[in-house]
Structure 1
């Protein structure tokens, strides 16, 4: 997990009265984009009898749920409907040992294509990079938006970091107007690599991850991930203070951000409309 996200988590803990949050032990575990490692990581955390588990993907939530029914789980899952996925009984009263920050996906899929269409008025074809281990909800949402906006979609599956370079090579061969990088822990761990691969092949990108836009991608739109981790820290603090996940309502992201990289736009020979720049929360010059 990025250092900035752990820092935000600690800020949330401090807001709940944990003045020593900086000294609290946070065991940062990563599958490095390999879902097969999750079960072992979860089993180790259960064995260590940690106070709370904070999974940050649908696969992570499923794995933690299978690993324990007693340790509280405060999840960050921006891809799933937690009720439909079977994680909680209801948003208001989760009913088990899981709560957290969840967000289903349709609005993001529509927004990404709308932003691309506004930034690139002649947009007619888009390649989508997808991690097949993630929820199908993302691709379903983007596909529905593409039908409405009359944009042709092509999909390239990426199951490992080692496949990213080839995926961008295949995408470039298809000559799309832009690339959408769907949300996945796999992609979130490599913002600089993704931005470099896209820029080297002159492919405008839009994604959920602001880190990719800041690293050289063209656009991002989605929840402010640092604010989301502050929310998680607050919820973890409530659990540590004695509240049960069963009674702690599921929360939604409270802050969204749009990042535009003007430096990348110029490198790609693009002139972005003023309307796009004015809507951005952050413009990188």
Structure 2
């Protein structure tokens, strides 16, 4: 009789625990390699899209967030910590965070965002059929259009400089593609390496006297310290162009790029699909199509050039200082 009562009690407790677990909101863990305006906009877009789709933080979804502060080792620690928490979905913003999360989260759905080349980064097998537990949104840059913009503003430029982190797969892939595309137009790419933000200023200074203009990709190390590059451009009359539109408000001459908030919204919609039961392997990697031109005429003047009136007229946003 006692044994029967104990058995019944155990079953009741198990049922209660299971019912409580079923009533708990899903958990989404977001890891971000570093905090800067573009990636912060992705993060905010994810949160807003989830809320709009009924996943409100603190109510119908629990959100966890960690920034690696630009440190790959910390990104790995965050990934392992999140895997231990067993969230329903892990969201990784930028290539380094996505790679470390992919290495740690073998059985947890993973959605990456703002990853330039997910195939080259070995996150997915292909964009159409990602496979395994991973999918996401790529921000592969339209490099040809960026070069078109630079030549439209500075048709006489022959040597283009760039600062990049050779330890970041995203950055290396972009620089390699950029070099090939510039060569086809008889333009030379001059590269300066910076493995951490404290090296960005020195790398930018090394380009003085060697280049006619500087073009920056979405390299997270460099964009986190972009003011250092801009200060060099202003002192040496070297116009700085960027792939990240948020960089224009920080002092770049012009950028033709995505609205990273929209990238976040697109990512958030993908996360919502997974929370609703769709497997990541069944969701093709999505790309961003819409581009916006941002210009900063005052920054151009400080770097020794005047933006053509037609370029300013075409801009979606003219930054005034």
**Deviation per residue, 1:107-159 (Å, 9 max, x gap):** x3222222111101211111111111223321122112211222222100111
Aligned residue among 125, 130, 135 for 1:99: 135
Determine if contact 2:57/2:63 at 8 Å carries over to the other structure: no
- The corresponding residue for 1:88 is 124
**3-state DSSP class of the match of 1:165?**
helix
- The corresponding residue for 2:251 is 216
Aligned residue among 169, 187, 191 for 1:151: 187
- The corresponding residue for 1:203 is 238
Determine if contact 1:260/1:277 at 8 Å carries over to the other structure: yes
- When residues 249 and 125 of structure 1 are mapped into structure 2, their CA distance, relative to the original with a 3 A threshold, is same
Distance in structure 2 (CA, Å) of the matches to 1:240 and 1:190: 36
Determine if contact 2:163/2:222 at 8 Å carries over to the other structure: no
Deviation at 1:235, TM superposition (A): 0.9
Deviation at 1:207, TM superposition (A): 1.7
Distance in structure 1 (CA, Å) of the matches to 2:118 and 2:124: 9
- When residues 213 and 128 of structure 1 are mapped into structure 2, their CA distance, relative to the original with a 3 A threshold, is same
Matched, 1:74 2:111: yes
Determine if contact 2:258/2:288 at 8 Å carries over to the other structure: yes
Where does structure 1 lack aligned partners over 5 or more consecutive residues? none
- The corresponding residue for 2:202 is 166
Distance in structure 2 (CA, Å) of the matches to 1:56 and 1:4: 11
**3-state DSSP class of the match of 1:53?**
strand
Deviation at 1:192, TM superposition (A): 4.1
Deviation at 1:35, TM superposition (A): 2.1
Aligned residue among 37, 47, 50 for 1:10: 47
Distance in structure 2 (CA, Å) of the matches to 1:204 and 1:57: 27
Distance in structure 2 (CA, Å) of the matches to 1:211 and 1:186: 15
Deviating beyond 6 angstroms after TM superposition, the runs of 4 or more aligned structure 1 residues are none
**Deviation per residue, 1:67-121 (Å, 9 max, x gap):** 0111111101432143x5442244334221101102445xx32222221111012
**3-state DSSP class of the match of 2:54?**
coil
Deviation at 1:194, TM superposition (A): 4.1
For the aligned residue pairs, the C-alpha RMSD in angstroms reads: 2.2
- The corresponding residue for 1:239 is 274
Aligned residue among 25, 32, 36 for 2:73: 36
Larger radius of gyration: 2
- When residues 126 and 231 of structure 1 are mapped into structure 2, their CA distance, relative to the original with a 3 A threshold, is same
Please identify, of 192-201 and 244-253, the stretch whose mean Cα deviation from structure 2 is larger.
192-201
Aligned residue among 212, 217, 229 for 1:182: 217
- The corresponding residue for 2:4 is none
- The corresponding residue for 2:173 is 137
**Deviation per residue, 1:24-72 (Å, 9 max, x gap):** 5433322322223321121111112222222122222221111011111
Where does structure 2 lack aligned partners over 5 or more consecutive residues? 1-34
- When residues 116 and 57 of structure 1 are mapped into structure 2, their CA distance, relative to the original with a 3 A threshold, is same
- When residues 216 and 85 of structure 1 are mapped into structure 2, their CA distance, relative to the original with a 3 A threshold, is closer
**3-state DSSP class of the match of 1:101?**
strand
